[in-house]
Structures are given as structure tokens and as C-alpha cells.
């Protein structure tokens, strides 16, 4: 995966986290507290301006009460699938 693909993936994942957070009616501060990261980290991540390690991603999935695979776009549970072409 080249750096452009990585950046596009992180932007799409950040948008997905934001959508899921809003569906759960959580603020960035609440999600950050539950996941053990700062509000500013959540903000930057949701905008695709900050990378993330697997441990933080697992904590965010847990805070959203989702399996990691679903957070990454697997079984969407009724959410629309991310359209990679539309995000570029």
C-alpha cells in the first residue's frame, strides 16, 4: 500500500469512526475518555490528520461496542459501506 492509499484509508476510517460515534451519541471527549486517548487525538483521527496504532484502534472499537472487523468496515450492521472512489 503506497502512502496515498494509506492516507485515503485513514481518512475513510476516521470518517467511519465519526459516523459511528455520532450514532452512539458520544462526544469526542467521551469517546476519547472511554478509549484512553485525548479529545484532540479523536478530532485529528476523525479528520484523517493522525495515524493510529492497533492498540488505540482496538480501544476505540471497544468504546463503540463494536468488533474491530466491523469498525474497519466489515459487517456494517446497516451502515452504508464506505465508497473509496467517492472519498478521493
Residue ranges of domains in the chain: 3-72
More confident residue, 56 or 3: 56
Question: What kind and span of H or E run contains 38?
Answer: none
What's the pTM value of the predicted model, to 2 decimals? 0.79
Euclidean distance between CA atoms 45 and 39, whole angstroms? 10
**pLDDT per position as a tens digit, 20-41:** 999 999 999 999 999 999 999 9
Euclidean distance between CA atoms 67 and 77, whole angstroms? 11
**pLDDT per position as a tens digit, 44-68:** 999 999 899 999 999 999 999 999 9
Residue 7, pLDDT above cutoff 70: yes
Per the document, the length of the chain is 88
Of the candidate CATH numbers 2.40.37.10, 1.20.1260.10, 1.10.260.40, 1.10.3720.10, the domain formed by 3-72 belongs to 1.10.260.40
DSSP string, 47-88: TT-S---HHHHHHHHHHTT--HHHHTTSS-TTPPPP-TGGG-
pLDDT band at 74 (very low <50, low <70, confident <90, very high): confident
Amino acid at each position: 500500500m503506497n502512502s496515498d492509499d494509506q492516507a485515503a484509508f485513514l481518512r475513510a476510517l476516521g470518517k467511519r469512526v465519526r459516523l459511528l460515534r455520532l450514532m452512539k451519541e458520544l462526544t469526542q471527549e467521551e469517546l476519547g475518555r472511554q478509549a484512553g486517548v485525548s479529545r484532540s487525538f479523536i478530532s485529528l483521527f476523525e479528520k484523517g490528520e493522525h495515524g493510529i496504532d492497533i492498540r488505540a484502534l482496538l480501544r476505540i472499537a471497544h468504546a463503540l461496542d463494536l468488533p474491530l472487523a466491523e469498525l474497519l468496515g466489515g459487517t456494517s450492521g446497516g451502515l452504508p459501506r464506505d465508497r473509496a472512489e467517492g472519498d478521493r
